Structure 1
Amino acid sequence: MKTIGYAAQSATTPLAPLRFERRELRPNDVAMEVLYCGICHSDLHAARNDWGWSRYPVMPGHEIVGRVTGVGNEVQRHKVGDMVAVGCMVDSCQQCDQCNQGEEQYCRAGNTGTYGGRDRITGEATFGGYSKHLVTREEFVLRVPPGLDPARTGPLLCAGITTFSPLRHWGVGPGSRVGVVGLGGLGHMAVKLAAGLGADVTVMSRSPDKEADAKALGAHRLLVSADADAMKKARSSFDVIIDTVPVKHDLNPYLPLLDIDGTLVLVGQLGPMPETNMVPAITGRRRIAGSLIGGIAQTQELLDFCAARNILPDCEMIRMDQINEAFERMERADVRYRFVIDMASLEG
């Protein structure tokens, strides 16, 4: 299938149109027309090779919503015309213990990324959702529930599941005390989802400027991390803290805020962190953990949960040809809180 998308040819070149071919349908494949695609900070990192493993050309996009245009002859879960979604993965071994328990993101053989990965059959590079069309095996295609706005569903597939998964894993519900560090694309979803699960939610920020925004998203209060007295009073007051900060930063202010057996979960920074004083961890049986997106079943659970409770990300819609400007704005944190590309704007 001939199609078009936007790709980076190197770490220093802007994204630009690229014509290419999607594979012909395999028996278990679903083909879709991409209608909307969210923009993740990971897209920017991959395009600019910030992690050192990008292979060019890079066509980002793993917050994808579209309509089914064709199915292979063995497909049973989806049909032509269905509204569907694809997140960060398009394949895994489907045989290991992690895949068998619905944790494909931790596939022992490594999951196949929606972009920047390698097709498990042909070895060809995978291209993401900054494109007109997508072809993916049916096990990794999700159902968009009726009532969930397709134009705002995309960010749930990365920002949403990245924060929902640790909230579910650590049993957050009514009575839970949840802190959220950072109020960007990930942070604003962590607030909405924790509040939706019935938790008492506190946003942590270096200044009081975000208090109104935090409360509008569903937080009960804002804790100013630069206020030494406030931080001291907040010690041992959280069961779970979701840390969404996407750069190297100090964890020492946050560990003492956890109660005994509390967990600080890192979902933002993928790389080195400063030295951490482990005294609070040992004296309070506190944990530092990480979490990677979520499995396919849990992502579907998230979509159904958000549809039932009308939880959606706050989005700014852009045209495909505004992608490079959006990347620059994202670097400046000049977005509230997630960009989404209207793929109808991509000609060709």
Structure 2
Amino acid sequence: MSIDYRFEGWCGLDKEAVGNMKWQEYEPKPFTDHDVDIRITHCGMCGADLHTLRNGWGFTPYPCVVGHEIVGRAVRVGKNVDHVKVGDRVGVGAQADSCLKPDCEACADGQESYCPNTISTFGSNWPDGSKSYGGYANYSRTAGRFIFRIPVELPSHEVGPMLCAGITVYAPLKREGCGPGKKVGIIGLGGLGHFGVLFAKALGADKVVVISRSNAKKEDAKKLGADDFLATSEEKGWDSGASRLSNSLDLIISTTSSPNMPLSGYLSLLKFRGQFIQVGAPEDNLPGFNAFALLPKRAKIGGSIIGSRAEIREMLDFAVKKNIHPWIELRPLQEANQAMMDLDAGKPRYRYCLVNENHEEF
């Protein structure tokens, strides 16, 4: 089947790509009967895009088109894809594929985001050696089994960021028991953190505390539904073990990507059997901590990355049911370089979403 469109996008060519991406044509993976082509209308902007463009994690395969919060219209559907048809509004998140083999421990457990053979939506290689390219582009080609039909109740510019930022916090909140009777801390009020507040409150947590360096976002936290706010640079003794929030939180979700986080202080806020889950990915190693911040409480430290396909579908249905609306700022796809520099400067409140101004509205 011939197609009448070309794949073009904002390509990062080297580690100086932040603010300096080039719009150019690229070659997607060969189309198979298992694939779907999406005409992109919206793509959220994620911190992972920054880390990748500047090679902060050390494995960027230039040239690279970033973006993994993609929403658009299916324009070509492989014959072996039975849940999507041409014309459907669909999306794809940070994961483009996994092995899904019965002898893969993660995939067999329904946790394919932990598959050792996962393929990311950008910056990975498909089995045939071709590269995966992301959503700062006009089209996306990816495996149909990781593409989701979008509920009609969710606007495209809101659902895009849910496919990475949203699921990154929803999955560990749900998995670790956020709900009635629980007190939850969210470290960092950014793209991930603001979703954390929205979902924790919607899941019924008794108390949600935002933990940030300063009080600059305190009013926003309240508007999002937070019950309390801790500014670590402005509240003396917060990490002493005897502050008003010490030994009070059942669960902390850390969205920060700072390698200089006061980890021992954060752990002092956990109560007996409390859990600290890291979802932010710093470019450097996390700091050490005092073992006695864990031992007397039987506390645990863990990590989480995005979520499974089942968890994503559950999250989308939950967002509809609870009428959840993230705080999204639209930026033109044509101005992606400026938007990227603004993202790097920490300006979003709280997630940017690129919109192709030539798209057909749904």
Q: Shorter-normalised TM-score: what interval? A: over 0.9
**Distance in 1, Cα, partners of 2:318 & 2:341:** 33
Contact 2:29 2:130 survives alignment (8 Å): no
Q: Indicate whether 1:250 and 2:257 are aligned.
A: no
Contact 2:40 2:135 survives alignment (8 Å): yes
Match of 1:261 in 2: 273
Other structure's SS at 1:179 match: strand
Aligned pair partner of 2:210 in 203, 206, 209: 203
Q: Indicate whether 1:26 and 2:32 are aligned.
A: yes
Q: Indicate whether 1:136 and 2:148 are aligned.
A: no
**Distance in 2, Cα, partners of 1:317 & 1:256:** 38
Aligned pair partner of 2:110 in 70, 79, 102: 102
Once the two structures are superposed, the pairs formed by residues 332-343 of structure 1 within 5 Å of their partners are 332-343=345-356
Once the two structures are superposed, the pairs formed by residues 1-348 of structure 1 within 5 Å of their partners are 2-13=6-17, 14-95=20-101, 96-108=104-116, 110-120=117-127, 122-199=128-205, 200-226=207-233, 227-228=235-236, 232-248=243-259, 249-270=261-282, 271-344=284-357
Contact 2:92 2:148 survives alignment (8 Å): yes
Gaps spanning 5+ residues in structure 2: where?
none
The structure 1 segments of at least 4 consecutive aligned residues displaced by more than 6 Å after TM superposition are: none
Offset at residue 236 of structure 1 (A) = 1.1
**Distance in 2, Cα, partners of 1:166 & 1:311:** 18
Other structure's SS at 1:252 match: helix
TM-score (norm 2): 0.91
Offset at residue 337 of structure 1 (A) = 0.5
Contact 2:247 2:270 survives alignment (8 Å): yes
1:168 is aligned with what amino acid? K
Count of paired positions: 344
Offset at residue 25 of structure 1 (A) = 3.3
Contact 1:156 1:312 survives alignment (8 Å): no
Contact 1:320 1:345 survives alignment (8 Å): no
Contact 2:191 2:351 survives alignment (8 Å): yes
Other structure's SS at 1:339 match: strand
Offset at residue 23 of structure 1 (A) = 4.1
**Distance in 2, Cα, partners of 1:93 & 1:197:** 32
Contact 1:234 1:257 survives alignment (8 Å): yes
Other structure's SS at 2:247 match: coil
**Distance in 1, Cα, partners of 2:149 & 2:213:** 39
Deviations 1:252-305 (A, max 9, x none): 111111111101111113340222111020011111111111111111111111
Deviations 1:131-154 (A, max 9, x none): 111122221001211210112211
Other structure's SS at 1:17 match: strand
Residues 256 and 103 of structure 1, relative CA distance in 2, 3 Å threshold: same
**Distance in 1, Cα, partners of 2:107 & 2:334:** 37
Structural RMSD (CA): 1.5
Contact 1:319 1:345 survives alignment (8 Å): no
Offset at residue 158 of structure 1 (A) = 0.9
Gaps spanning 5+ residues in structure 1: where?
none
Offset at residue 101 of structure 1 (A) = 2.3
Stretch moving more, 267-276 or 39-48: 267-276
Contact 2:29 2:132 survives alignment (8 Å): no
Other structure's SS at 1:340 match: strand
**Distance in 2, Cα, partners of 1:98 & 1:64:** 25
Offset at residue 325 of structure 1 (A) = 1.5
